[in-house]
Chain A
Amino acid sequence: MAGNRRMVLNKPMNRRDFMKLSATTAAVLGLSTAVVPDLCQAFAKKEKPAVIWLHFQECTGCTESLLRSTEPDVADLILNIISLEYHETLFAASGHQIEDNLVRAMERYRNKYVLVVEGSIPTKAGGNYCTISGQTAASILKKTATNAAAIIAIGSCAAWGGIPSAGPNPTGAQGVLTTLNAMQIEKPVINVPGCPPNPHNFLSTVVHYLMYGVPTLDSQNRPKFAYGTLIHDQCERRAHFDSGRFANAFGDEGHRKGYCLYKLGCKGPSTYGNCPEQGFNAEKRWPVSIGHPCFGCIEKGVGFTKPLFEVSDMVTTATPPQVYPRPVEPGNKKISPLATGIAGAVLGSVVTAVATKTISLKNSEDDTHEDD
């Protein structure tokens, strides 16, 4: 078994990188740094959860981006905190050997393993557009998903179909969740879309799952800590958008000055993600920061669907406030009706009391003088 699982990479991770990675993971999850020691403990746990990683209609870009990340080396850490039982790219073995591995792993870690799926599942022509060792992607998914504890769909292809599903979608490619729903298999599915997704999003999802279970998901099963805000609402060029400074053509003055790329078709306003905050790679760059509009690779219906340079829909509901305040802004507080009522009641009772006393004095005065 050990030989089958010989790692392609086997650099040990040094402590500094380890701490950096833990801190980054905490940051991506939006957790305080106080959590870092717990994370380190979780990472160092002896009992590693088994992970089965399937590849379907994909380019392996998600795995590659994971492997290529440096400072710290994400892949190495992942491979140290999980027990990777099946991965076509990373495993040295092939053929029947690796397939036996898969069968044994599914048995051994039944209902305990995490299934990571990379790539979409074709449905046309009986699903024959993608077969591995004679089985269709759909049937492999069915077999592996049935006994999985949880499923992470990494990449846009696995999340909603991605590139293979781009019009006219000749293979009938669809995402993992859609496929499982059609098969009526009910398992927790976490989508981590992107093309590729930020490897930190994936790592943080795994860590969150290990420590706290499934993270809070949005309506498309994407973790909210990464996909909760629109790219437009966190973009560093937002001020230019709000002030009406746009690049109108590639290479023009506005483009050179770093103005907003909305008019060049940036899909930030209709795409949810954390690309502006997290960036990619060591330099923490993302497409807009280097002058290319976002094309919404994360978002179903936007990425690989809308033309690259077509102006985006505005999903954002946040509008800038009245830009400049007026010279005089009274800023009045609301007057509470209850307060008015109480004040009125007090005033009324005082008036009544005075009137009553006055009248009673008058009456007693009249009485006294009647006796005269």
Chain B
Amino acid sequence: MAHVNAKPLGGKILTPSVILMLFVAGAGIYFLFVRYIYGIGAVSNLSNYMPWGIWKVINVIVGAALVCGGYACAFTVYLFNQGHYHRYVRPALLISLLGYSFAGFSLFYDVGRYWGLFNFLIPKYWQGNSVLFEVGLCVMTYIGVLSLEIAPAIIEKFSHVEGRLRVVLDKLYAFLDRFLFLIISLGILLPTMHQSGLGGLAVVMGQKISPLWQSPLISLHHLISCMAMGYGCVIVTEMLVSHDYKETQHMEILSQLAKVMFMIMFVFLVLRMSEVLRSGAMALAFKGNLDSISFWTEMLLMVGGLWCVRNDQVRMKPNNIFLGSCLIMAAGSLYRLNVYIIGFHPVPGVTYFPSVPELSISLGMVCLQLIFFIMIIKTFPIIAKERR
């Protein structure tokens, strides 16, 4: 298994920032009650021309992409045999698990007939042609896989337990250890499927999505950008939860991750621009409307991020790889926002901006994720601490 020296961080959980986030989460939960009693229209600005808003696009689609750290780690550690990345695995898995679980939960309040979500498990209702069906099943399964992947960390917490429970836990631990390779492989296959699927959702929307983003390669675009965002996620998480990056040996490892992120994001940039140029959509980028402004912002964020991590020297500076990761994650997030909201034009003249309750629920869910993350890293052995 990880064989990493991970320990609970300890310390107070109710810090001022956590308390602030609790308030935001509380407001979000209040509006969730309103949503469940009075319906979606009472708390959001979703409409028949814009039926997907920030809940689907930010909490589910962007949210799932931002937390691809688990995916990136699985690649790096278990596929490319980079053993010295082990210490990043657990925090990345945790953030992935939280991110995907909340993405799943977001569906429970975003879809109108949430009790029907269980139809995804009933063969009578399966519709194999639907990209959304594949994404739904994949995400459901992946959450299970992530739970299995992080289970060892939970079990380690209970290392002091004795008796029959100890036997069970030990058996479970050994089982997970033995079949890790199967679980990990799922942990690579499934995100590949559903992340490209989250892009593939856009194909059926045809010309309702602006040619600046619509393309037959849109699944590939989503997959590649999420891989890059995954690496960024690992880097940012590591730099926010520990100070070990200050050690040169750790900076070297992080800069390797940044290098991979650079290469993947570069491929994404090339693929995107080539598609935009090939389809002749470039003309749309100069119309001076919201589409074009957002397009160039996305490009700027991407290029800016790439610039921050462009060579080995700059990649050894923590500020560069931190900023580069943030910019690349922002570029990927804005890209998804562009595909499904900003660049989505069902008929000319439709505008959409979330309402206050809608924003509150979205923000509340993000805050809840962060609160859970903080709670868990402080109580469970997730973060590896270097002995000085």
Q: Do chains A and B touch in the complex (CB under 8 A)?
A: yes
Minimum-distance CB pairs A-B, first 8: A361-B319, A362-B319, A330-B349, A335-B353, A358-B323, A330-B350, A361-B318, A354-B326
Q: Is the CB of A332 within 8 A of B350?
A: yes
B221: min CB distance to chain A, Å: 24
Interface centre among A328, A330, A359 (most CB of B within 10 A): A330
Instruction: With A339-B359, A364-B318 given, name 18 new contacts (CB 8 A).
Output: A330-B349, A331-B47, A331-B49, A332-B350, A332-B352, A333-B352, A335-B45, A336-B355, A339-B353, A339-B354, A339-B355, A339-B356, A340-B353, A342-B363, A343-B353, A354-B326, A361-B317, A364-B246
Chain B residue with minimal CB distance to A343?
Answer: B359
Find chain B residues with CB under 8 A from A338 CB: 356
B356 and A365 contacting across the interface, CB-CB below 8 Å: no
Question: How many interface residues does B have (CB within 8 Å)?
Answer: 27
CA distance A359 to B326 in the complex (A): 13
How many angstroms from the CA of A222 to the CA of B350 in the assembled complex?
A: 48
Q: Residue B239 at the A interface, CB < 8 A? A: yes
A interface residues, tally (CB under 8 Å)? 22
Query: Quick check: is B322 within 8 A (CB to CB) of the other chain?
Result: yes
Pairs A–B under 8 Å by Cβ, sample size 19: A330-B348, A330-B350, A331-B47, A333-B47, A333-B352, A333-B355, A335-B353, A336-B353, A339-B356, A339-B358, A342-B363, A346-B363, A354-B323, A358-B319, A359-B319, A361-B317, A361-B319, A362-B317, A364-B318
User: Which A residues lie at the B interface, using CB under 8 A?
Assistant: 328, 330-333, 335-336, 338-340, 342-343, 346, 354, 357-359, 361-362, 364-365, 368
Complex formed: what's the CA distance from A362 to B319 in Å?
Answer: 5
Q: How far is the CA of A331 from the CA of B45 in the complex (A)?
A: 11
Q: A328-B348, A331-B47 given as contacts; is B317 within 8 A of A342 (CB)?
A: no
- Alpha-carbon gap, A365 to B251, bound state (A): 11
| CB of B351 closer than 8 Å to a CB of A | yes
Digitize B333-365: 1 where CB-to-A-CB distance is under 8 Å, 0 elsewhere: 000000000000001111111111011100100
Q: Is the CB of A343 within 8 A of B354?
A: yes
Give the Cβ gap from A133 to chain B, nearest Cβ, in Å.
68
When the two chains form their complex, are residues A361 and B322 in contact, meaning their CB atoms are under 8 A apart? yes
Complex CA–CA separation, A339 to B43 (angstroms): 12
User: What A residues does B318 contact at CB under 8 A?
Assistant: 361, 364-365
Partner of B351, one of A335, A339, A358: A335
Docked-complex contact B49 and A330, CB < 8 angstroms: yes
Inter-subunit contact A358/B349 (CB<8 Å): no
- B319 to chain A: which residues have CB within 8 Å? 358-359, 361-362, 365
With a CB–CB cut-off of 8 A, which chain A residues contact B348? 328, 330
Chain B residues in 8 Å Cβ range of A359: 319
Query: Is A332 touching B317 in the complex (CB atoms < 8 A)?
Result: no
Q: Which of A328, A339, A346 contacts B347 (CB 8 A)?
A: A328
